[in-house]
Amino acid sequence: MSRPAARLITLDVDGTLLETGTTVPEVTARAVAAVRKAGHHVALTTSHPLIGVLPVAHSLAISGVWIVGSNGAITAYASPSVPGGFRVHAARTFDVDPVVHLARTRIPRVKIAVELAGWGWRVNQPFDPGHLDGQQHVVADLGELWATPATRMVLCAPGIGALVEPLRQLGLTPSAAGLGWVDLTPRGPSTASALETLREHLDVPPERTVAIGDSWTDVAMLQWAAYPIAMGNAPTAVKALAKHVTGPVGRHGAADALRALLDTDASRPATVHA
């Protein structure tokens, strides 16, 4: 006899695990710990850079959790047993030099930030406090910005949105956040493709994949999962993609959904192998 195969359960962070600007509620942390103890894999999947989600991963105080960050550009494993608290499992990068050249030619005073995975950013000039997760290292020489390929960049300046199309022509995925901010990630990877690669690595059957999310940025992972779950605070159109709608984040809907998954597995009859 054997218990059902392990699941790969992926969770959005803001609006799912926690309310933006807060910490993971104890009831939700306990539910995450329970699914890990039952042998399932947990992945925190987010648009945030790795440094922005590591504190959440470590706050869960479980044996290990996967992170799919920067919209799928980087996958890492966070665990107290890993030196430094995490290791990068996979990363999709791009050449920084053409981006810097384009941005500074068009807008000479543009602020540029290049992600240093798990630490912070190299910047050509300081960004305002709270605008970037992690630490900032102001480079003495612009060449430091493109010294290594990047998983993510940020460009900040009035009118920077006008560069979205030229940046796309460089083979990147630009995401404008207001008129003065553009995030850049490599073209190709997505949360869905990164999760599928992780599923194969962990040897989890496709039918044992679960995603819990609340917003439009979670659509790719919800469509990837065999069993998508929407939070009660999700828009109606996002809920329409789900097989189940749980409670809102303020009522710990993610914890309810995780406990229900454990109850479902516990109620399944064991498989008898000849």
pLDDT score, position 156: 97
Q: In this structure, is residue 227 part of a structural domain?
A: yes
**Full domain range(s) for residue 46:** 8-91+189-267
Phi, psi of 133, deg, nearest 5 = -70, 140
Is the model's pLDDT at 273 over the cut of 50? no
For residue 2, being part of any structural domain is answered with no
- The proportion of the chain whose per-residue pLDDT surpasses 70, expressed as a percent, equals 96
CATH number for position 198: 3.40.50.1000
With cut-offs at 50, 70 and 90, classify the pLDDT of residue 3.
low
Residues 74 and 202 in one domain: yes
Classify residue 212 as exposed, middle or buried by CB count within 10 Å of its CB (0-12, 13-18, 19+): buried
Same domain flag for 108 and 229 = no
How many folded domains does the chain comprise? 2
Instruction: Give me the pLDDT at residue 2, please.
Output: 57
Q: Which residues of 196-206 are buried (b: 16+ CB within 10 A; e: fewer)?
A: bbbbeeeebee
**Residue 272 belongs to a domain:** no
Strands 74-78 and 120-123: unpaired
The CATH number of residue 124's host domain is 3.30.1240.10
Mean pLDDT, residues 168-180 taken together: 90
**SS3 letters for 203-249?**
CCCHHHEEEEECCHHHHHHHHHCCEEEECCCCCHHHHCCCCEECCCH
Euclidean distance between CA atoms 179 and 158, whole angstroms: 6
Q: What is the pLDDT of residues 220-243, one digit of tens each?
A: 999 999 999 999 999 999 999 999
Is 131 contained in some domain? yes
Contact 199, 208 (CB under 8 A): no
78 and 213 fall within a common domain: yes
Calculate mean pLDDT across residues 56-83: 92
User: Of 186, 221, 256, at which residue does a domain stop?
Assistant: 186
The string of pLDDT tens digits covering residues 19-35 is 988 999 999 999 999 99
Confidence at residue 63, expressed as pLDDT on a 0 to 100 scale: 81
